[in-house]
A = this chain, B = another copy of it.
Amino acid sequence: MDKAELNRLLYAVAEGKITPEEAAVKLKTEPFEDLGFAKPDHHRKIRQGAGEVIYGAGKTAEQIGEICRSLVKGGQKNVLITRLDGDKADILKTLIDFNYYETGKIAVVGNMPEPDTEGTVLVATGGTSDLYAAEEAALTAEFLGSRVERLYDVGVAGIHRLLAHTDKIMNAKVIIAIAGMEGALASVIGGIADCPVIAVPTSVGYGAAFGGLAALLAMLNSCASGVSVVNIDNGFGAGYLANMINHM
């Protein structure tokens, strides 16, 4: 949306041709210049000033670089790039400057902001193999301004490791429970916690794990209240939603 379009929109509101709500929706969904090959997708709702997000998978390093430069030119201070694998990151390094978080396959252009929340997003995983999704979730929430605490490798097969951290579970404002294989972590945490629990099934496992299906079904059937589920391996979605709740 360029200046001229914006003016037209605002005049329309002023003249009562369009309601303020309609204008608001329009403004939310069209935040920046069209680059020809791609309109920004998935992460449109980030507030201007706070940060912008690029979904890195399926884009070349060159395309990502061009989008970033355009955003920065437009006044954007921070950009989050998700699903950026190592090789692509190496190429991108030659184009723009950023911090790369290898485990979560996330890049941050500009500075990671200081947390602006009282509440904490607790990110818990069943095993160390789930870290890729956990870090995607944690870094997303941090990028959006949340205070984040990590509690990794507390799977239910060693339940006392998890219970040793009951205080963290009870003090969190929202919890992201991440697990593959049988995905039981969400139920156990959901049974202890008083706050919303966002469950992320991961594709960790083999055989009858069926690429995360076992964990997904388990989490959807959780007998604990307050638990909801996002797509397999969708750390970004969980981090985004957790931050949204954390800012309430």
Chain A interface residues toward B at CB < 8 A: 16-17, 19, 21-22, 24-26, 28-30, 37-39, 41-45, 58, 126-129, 153, 155-161, 163, 166-167, 170, 173, 181-184, 187-188, 190-192, 194-196, 198, 201, 203-234, 237-238, 240-241, 244-245, 248
Contacts and interface: CB of A to CB of B under 8 A. Distances in A.
A38 B161 CA distance: 13
Contacts of A216: 207-208, 220
Contacts of A229: 220, 228-230
A184 B218 contact: yes
Contacts of A173: 248
Given A39-B128, A184-B184, A226-B240, A220 B248 contact: no
This chain: how many copies in the complex?
8
A114 to B, nearest CB: 22
Contacts of A244: 195-196, 226
A119 to B, nearest CB: 8
Nearest to A162: B159
A130 B188 CA distance: 19
Given A39-B161, A156-B191, A157-B187, 8 more contacts: A24-B170, A25-B166, A25-B192, A45-B225, A155-B191, A157-B224, A214-B217, A226-B240
A231 B218 contact: no
A204 to B, nearest CB: 8
B233 A44 contact: no
Residue from the set A17, A28, A192, A241 with the largest chain B CB neighbour count within 10 Å = A192
Contacts of A234: 207
A128 B55 CA distance: 11
16 contacts: A21-B166, A25-B192, A41-B157, A42-B157, A42-B225, A45-B225, A126-B223, A156-B187, A157-B191, A157-B222, A181-B223, A182-B187, A196-B245, A207-B233, A214-B220, A217-B217
Residue from the set A43, A158, A190 with the largest chain B CB neighbour count within 10 Å = A158
Nearest to A199: B228
Contacts of A30: 160-161
Contacts of A28: 194
B39 A182 contact: no
A228 B230 contact: yes
Contact of A225 (B159, B209, B240, B248): B240
A42 B216 CA distance: 19
